[in-house]
Structure 1
Amino acid sequence: MKKKPINTFLYLSLFIFPFLFFLSCQKAKSPGVIGLSGEEAAWPAPIPCRVEDGDNQDLFLLSLGKITTPLAKATYDPVQDRVTLDDGSVIEGYFREKLKIKYFSPIEKNLFPLPPSGWCSWYYYYREINEAEILKNARWLAENLKEYGAIYCQVDDGWQGRGSEKGNYRDWSTVDPRFPAGMAALAKKLREFGLKPGIWLAPHGQSNPEVVKKWGAFLVDENGESLSRTWEGDYLLDPSRPEALNYLADLFRTLSEDWGYEYFKIDGQPIVVREYRNKFSLMKNPTGEAEELYRQTIKTIRETIGPSKYLLGCWGIPLEGLGYMNGSRTGGDVVIPWEGFLVALQATMRYYFLHNIAWYCDPDVMLVRYPLTIDMARAWATLQGLTGQALMASDCLYDLPEERVEILKRVFPAVDIRPVDLFPVEQNKRIWDLKIHHLGRDYDVVGCFNFESSESSGLELKWSDIGLPEGALVHVFDFWNGEYLGCWEKGIYVPLDPASVRVFALHVATAEPQLISTSRHITQGWVDLHSLSYDSAKKKMKGKSQVIAHDPYELRFAWPRQAKLQIVRAKAAGAQVHIKNFQNWGTVSFIPQKSRETSWEIEFGPAEVYSFPPRSPSRLQAEPLGLDGLRLRWAPLYYLCAGYLISVDNNPVLYTPVPEAQVTSIDPHQEHSVSVQSVWWDGASSPEPATIKVRPSSLLPSEIFLETLRPKKMTSGWGRVRINRSVSGAELKIGNRSYPRGIGTHAPSEIILPILGLFRWFEAEVGVDAASPRQRGSVEFIVWGDGRILGRSGLVKANMPARRFRLDISRIQELRLEVTDGGDGIESDHADWVMPRLIR
């Protein structure tokens, strides 16, 4: 039986019995941490979840508060580590066994109810940092962002002495002369600013022979020569020696108790684990398992600093630290400009399922400075703001222009968001739906991304795809642009500039005026809104909001699209308010003089509303989009309109504000009637639509290259699948021949493409990429069609010329391209599908 959406009854009741409507919601008492609303979901307790994608493979689902959604087909119990699906089936040991998270336990949130928010020195200053610059940024942070929840100030690499080059600066017993007051004095000063001091180090490494000799705690041979020289240092702690644990305890007592640091970023942890595995037999007392010896070192650090100080693993994904680390970096280092965002994106896609479940994930810092465009900066901030991951800025703060600072203010602090999707994602999803339950309201904040930096794009945001009630009208507010886009049925088309994002607040429309957005935070009410009530008889809305001194605060309201209303009066305690009324919506804004909880009251009244009669569009054209979609364009109307309504076979499918749109998931074998009408804000539409009849399959070219299609699934055993490049990012090259088109991946790999019985032949060349390290790769390529093998390449090794597929795929609905290792493990298995195409 189909699960009923949570707000269907409310929605229907409001239209049938509007005179009964009275909404009164009171915020629970806040614990006093900026970003906590008092309505966080209980933890550890069962939560709604998905264990696989639904119909829309582009949807990334998140939650804030005690949400319910028909899209969640299961419940996860973190205490029992058990998933119970709606059909009654059970998956025991979900994280530990199915997801292979060996040391999983539910995150402990009592002392750290939210992820850290603040600033890190590394991605502007790198090792060229000094005490003066730390203090300048810290002072700016305290004066400008502390009240927004940014309270950590973390000193990264460069504070330690003994040189500045690899190998000779891993000495934690010295302080660089650029920090003349010393690290304890610096921490004290940061606390005086009201900040929490943080520090970076790679604690398992050491490069000072005198320290190594003094402690007798490192991996050395009988002559005292190092047995492990890595990025971590010239020497590596031997965890089998008790002296190693004593060394770590002494080091972290100094950093924590003597110096006063409260946040520790411990770097290079995957290197440490790898070296312990590889050098296990060379340890002084090699007993037990290398992983357990590593965990003893992390346990020692945790016991030394105590439970109230934050321990961050870094870099990559040191899962062996789970249970002791509060959080961890989940990917590599970011860079300026857009490529760094993609690093954070990949980390989020692959490991977000751990966030706020096992620990707090950290996809690395958020950057907003030039040469990032404003669109890029907003996209990066949205990645952080909609996921609630650890939120550390890393620009030179005092040098940022105001428009960039404004972006930071709208996403600090990180709040109690966690995934609904409890599984790793291999492809870059473009629709991020944060479902929020707050003060009795259920609403969505949706981010729509274009990850391509060189071309514009568009996508469909369908209400049914995100679990909104069938037939609902939905208010749409554009957060970053600060404007209302109307109240529409079915969904909207979202045009996107290169490397950009649009963020929408979506509220199912009721029969009364609604608060649809606030300006303080990207969650649009969670951080700032303390209470909300509406008296339908008096048409008055009251609320209380936590505001910040001198930060302009705006409340955004909308009402039913055929209602002739406006804001007639407004007041806010201790502030002068400004009212602005627009077509079907309005705002009330004020500038607080103090940071405080402010009561406000809004009254709505009748209004004269202008209406322009919609005119009929013309010259509608269609071209293929993928295999089951159409890209539509028509002549822009000379006359005024609010946008356009697209219908397929006389059924409305979405609204678009511009004279273009796309529709997908239509039967390509059938002829369809596609029409466009112009519309006004009240829902009126043009009497005569522009209409065409089209069979999508008839528009397809005779040959289509696979990399131009969006797959249902795409995975790579290492790195990420790349289009027209090898998995390493180099040109596609097999043997001595280079190729302009194709897909670069790494075994084990799987690419699934619905092809809908539209093609006769599949052709491709395959081989191990010439950039395979040490030319050791060996793989096999397998082509599947509707669950049966259509062809195999046989064993393919590095330096072999490409092998060719030509396979009959008549009537095949789904094509699956698989790469397996050659029976010798996956090392160096860089695999290329080059010139892959479907032929009709």
Structure 2
Amino acid sequence: MRRLSLLWTLLLAAVCLVAVPSPAAAAPPAPTPPMGFNNWNATHCRPEFDENMIKGVADLMVAKGLRDAGYEYVNLDDCWALPWRGPAGELVPDPRRFPNGIKALAGYVHAKGMKFGLYSSAGTMTCSASGFPGALGHEPQDAAQFAAWGVDYLKYDSCNNQGVDVVERYTAMRDALKATGRDIVLSVSEWGENRPWLWAGEVGQLWRTTGDIGDSWASMLSIMKRNLALGQFAGPGRWNDPDMLEVGNGGMTDEEYRTHFSMWAMMAAPLLIGTDLRKATPRTLEILGNREVIAIDQDPLGVQGRVVRAEGGRWVVAKPLKGGDMAVALFNESGHPQRIAATVTEVGLPPAEPAYKVRDLWAGTDAHTAGALAATVPAHGTVLLRVSRDTHWNAYPPLVEVDLQAPAPYPGGPSLIEPGAAAELTTVVTNHGHLPARDVTVRLATPEGWQVAANRPATVKALPGGEQFVTTWKVTAPAGLPLDAYRIDASVLRAHAGVMFVVPPPPPSGTPYVSDLAWLSMANGWGPVERDRSNGGLGPADGRRLTIGGATYTKGLGTHAPGTIEYYLGGRCTRLRAQVGVDDEKGARGSVTFEVWADGRKVAETALITNAMPAQPLDADVSGARVMRLVVTDGGDGVDSDHADWADAILTC
């Protein structure tokens, strides 16, 4: 009887083990990159950062469809607290900015169906110059206060850390947040200084990989390049963070902002809106609200895009997606339109059998391709494609590309034209599909007063798959044309390409200082290039006297890495001489290299130059060059404080 009872007991236990399902593995916090809003890039600590602003932004996120597009966090950055703690050591919200307190504001955000985030620092004070209280030594108390207020996300900075080990500081806050019992995403914001990609995945859900982003093309580009190299460390619940979005803040063009948003999506980066949505233009909202691009960022596979190829400013980046699709970014780093091409096999897909569907996520168009992926991409632009298998591929028109070619001093360089002069353009139309393209007509749109003539009819009834249709054109600029850049566009079916013709200034003569000449183009890492003064910051003419190693210079250019300045020489000059170095205005920081290019040839390059070094002589042979480029790089260690001076830069012409 006892044996029978024992048998029944074992059987019941076995039944229970089978009948009770094992608990599913808990989803990691932030299984996709966090999306939301943070005020810092738009307001810093200015007075407009207050309760009314945050409520207004939350309202707009709902009204404009951003919440429903995936933006779920509304985050406050620095300056929300008083500069001192309360009598029990607690954090005290600034009553002028937040008269109803943080908990009430978090409740307002939660009632909108979103989550709420706050800011602190793993130091004794935050990063603001006003010195608000940090959490170092107060982790359990502050974490409990955050949880009681309803905080869902903590951006945790690294200022005033008193030399305490970085992993120890961030681990202390991780443990304090866990002890509250509330799910709070921890953003490790130590600027990539201690290689957080190697350890922060055990501490938080995302980690900054670089210093702060600025609202400029050069800043965004530098950060993008550094973050792209770290894809192996990212995945669901552990994200590389190249900092918040600048889209809409005014320092870049809409084309550049589309690239910014596209490449952040390709890198599976957090998408935190950094513009005041109360002032956002329809174009800004269109960029931020593109759900097809957001889907690339939020793809549950969680793979960061990899660089397939990068040469001559032409980038191909590929990102595998769940279900077998592939996102492909054709990105043009240069300041001039360029054709960028790849194949489906090159980006990691099997050969097309017989074709792939190609969706252009910014144009909103569909096509099929037999294997080629190609487009003429505007300066600083990105064509973002989603490539997928589709058994109904023949329901989509063939992928037709038009390439507009114009003579330039070097590949990817500016196309130059004198007033009253003529230039030859070539349009190359290619059918990358299997099916014929019907009624193919090439149209050229020119500025008013320009004359254009084709050397043959610019129409074919049918262009078979895999074939090209080439037309040459004579384009004549009006006499008396002012110095400027003029765009010519080619279009065929749904494909477009453009080229910029630049009317250059007269070439220099004698021995002029470079700072006295007009440049063809300028791209600078921080603010504008300054003439005869240092690069003081974001505004024009805000620098000081050029000073390198204690020596002062009256003439020269104040730049910031990464930067490029182009000058038209017209083949008239033979030599450039300069004293180059890092300006003294940034103390002991900054490291750069200087390069001189004559058309497509690098004719001079310095070794790495730091702030501790005196000015270095630079002598470059620019004989015969139509265009001279002065280039400053960040030396490979980021763009912080890289104030680079071309002092006493003189041409011999």
TM-score (norm 2): 0.59
2:51 is the alignment partner of 1:131 = yes
Change (3 A) 1:678 1:378: same
What is residue 467 of structure 1 aligned with on the other side? 346
Aligned counterparts, 1:748-763, within 5 A? none
Paired residues of 2:152 and 2:184 also in contact (CA < 8 A): yes
2:31 is the alignment partner of 1:110 = no
2:410 is the alignment partner of 1:534 = no
Q: Residue 617 of structure 2 is aligned with which of 803, 812, 815?
A: 803
Whole-Å Cα distance in 1 between the matches of residues 585 and 359 of structure 2?
Answer: 48
Aligned counterparts, 1:99-498, within 5 A? 110-127=28-45, 128=47, 129-143=49-63, 144-162=65-83, 173-177=91-95, 178-206=97-125, 231=129, 233=131, 244=137, 247-256=138-147, 258-267=148-157, 269=158, 271-273=159-161, 275-276=162-163, 290-291=164-165, 294-306=166-178, 308-314=183-189, 316-319=191-194, 322-323=199-200, 324-334=203-213, 339-355=215-231, 357=233, 359-369=238-248, 371=250, 374-410=254-290, 411-412=293-294, 414-415=297-298, 416-421=302-307, 431-437=315-321, 439-442=323-326, 444-449=328-333, 457-463=336-342, 467=346, 478-483=360-365, 494=376, 496=378
What is residue 383 of structure 2 aligned with on the other side? 503
2:400 is the alignment partner of 1:558 = no
Displacement, 1:373?
Answer: 5.1
2:463 is the alignment partner of 1:682 = yes
What is residue 540 of structure 2 aligned with on the other side? none
Displacement, 1:433?
Answer: 2.4
What is residue 224 of structure 1 aligned with on the other side? none
Paired residues of 1:187 and 1:260 also in contact (CA < 8 A): yes
Paired residues of 2:79 and 2:132 also in contact (CA < 8 A): no
Change (3 A) 1:763 1:186: closer
Paired residues of 1:160 and 1:172 also in contact (CA < 8 A): no
Displacement, 1:534?
Answer: 3.0
Displacement, 1:264?
Answer: 0.4
Secondary structure in 2 matching 1:434? strand
Identity of aligned residues (%): 17
Paired residues of 2:265 and 2:294 also in contact (CA < 8 A): yes
Change (3 A) 1:797 1:621: closer
Whole-Å Cα distance in 2 between the matches of residues 769 and 742 of structure 1?
Answer: 9
The answer for unaligned runs of 5 or more in structure 2 is 1-25, 431-439, 446-454, 475-506, 538-542, 565-570, 597-602, 624-630
| Equivalent AA in structure 2 for residue 316 of structure 1 | W
What is residue 579 of structure 2 aligned with on the other side? 766
What is residue 410 of structure 2 aligned with on the other side? 625
Whole-Å Cα distance in 2 between the matches of residues 634 and 834 of structure 1?
Answer: 37
Whole-Å Cα distance in 1 between the matches of residues 591 and 33 of structure 2?
Answer: 42
Change (3 A) 1:303 1:679: farther
CA deviations on 1:369-398 (whole Å, 9 max, x unpaired) are: 474654344343324333321101133335
CA deviations on 1:729-772 (whole Å, 9 max, x unpaired) are: 658946443555698669xx9x9xxxxxx9x9875433435545
Whole-Å Cα distance in 2 between the matches of residues 137 and 157 of structure 1?
Answer: 17
Q: Residue 737 of structure 1 is aligned with which of 533, 544, 553?
A: 553
Displacement, 1:357?
Answer: 1.2
Superposed CA RMSD in Å reads 6.5
Displacement, 1:434?
Answer: 3.0
Paired residues of 2:328 and 2:386 also in contact (CA < 8 A): yes
What is residue 28 of structure 1 aligned with on the other side? none
CA deviations on 1:546-597 (whole Å, 9 max, x unpaired) are: xxxxxxxxxxx62347xxxxxxxxxxxxxxxxxxxxxx99xxxxxxxxxxxx
What is residue 428 of structure 2 aligned with on the other side? 644
Change (3 A) 1:449 1:629: closer
Change (3 A) 1:559 1:398: same
What is residue 600 of structure 2 aligned with on the other side? none
Q: How many residues align?
A: 523
| Equivalent AA in structure 2 for residue 116 of structure 1 | P
Displacement, 1:151?
Answer: 0.9
| Equivalent AA in structure 1 for residue 114 of structure 2 | L
| Equivalent AA in structure 1 for residue 269 of structure 2 | Q
